Amino acid sequence: MTISSAPDEALVLAAIEQVWGSMLFASAEPWPTDRAADFGSGVQAQIELRGDWNGRLVLTCDSDVATQIAGAMLGLGPDEELPELDIHDAVGEVLNVVGGSVKGALVGTWALGLPGVSETSEAPGRDESFVVSWGDAPVYVQILPDAA
């Protein structure tokens, strides 16, 4: 993974690819910019990163995608169901590990917060996020610096 002084899209994408592969046994590809990304209600996970750059990493996905991510992480069969609390926990932990990988690739002293997860009914705009694939569905990723 490239060493950087602040998180950027390439670094976060590399961390997601690593975590998708090792924890979720799936591949993450950049979502084609000309492809529509449908979104219903979903889950949004956030984690703070503090250091030379201060801000949050945010991961937003559809509820079905969140359920699939949790199932893949826990190795569940297609008929096994998880309570919502466990789905949120799993998505938060995925972002926590992504954040840890990003932090480990940054130069200097950095601190990672604890992940928080909430429901959302809106996906971020394509101009304020980049999108990776979970199978045939989009996962939105944002690198949001603190407001000045």
C-alpha 131: how far from its chain's center?
10
CB of 64 to another protein, least distance (A): 18
Which DSSP category does 31 fall into?
Answer: P
CB of 4 to another protein, least distance (A): 15
CA 32, 9, 123, 100 dihedral sign is positive
Out of 6, 23, 26, 137, the only residue in the binding site for another protein (CB under 8 A) is 23
CA 105, 91, 54, 133 dihedral sign is positive
Can residue 26 be called a binding residue for another protein (CB under 8 A)?
Answer: no
Q: How many residues bind another protein (CB under 8 A)?
A: 24
**What x-and-dash track marks residues 82-121 binding another protein by CB under 8 A?**
---xx--xx-xx--xx-xxx-xx-------xxx-------
Can residue 73 be called a binding residue for another protein (CB under 8 A)?
Answer: yes
3-state secondary structure of 57: strand
Q: How far apart are CA 90 and CA 86, in angstroms?
A: 6
Whole-number Cα distances in Å, 1 to 7, 12, 17, 102:
12, 10, 11, 9
Out of 33, 40, 75, 148, the only residue in the binding site for another protein (CB under 8 A) is 75
- Applying CB under 8 A, the residues found at the interface with another protein are 18-19, 22-23, 70, 73-75, 85-86, 89-90, 92-93, 96-97, 99-101, 103-104, 112-114
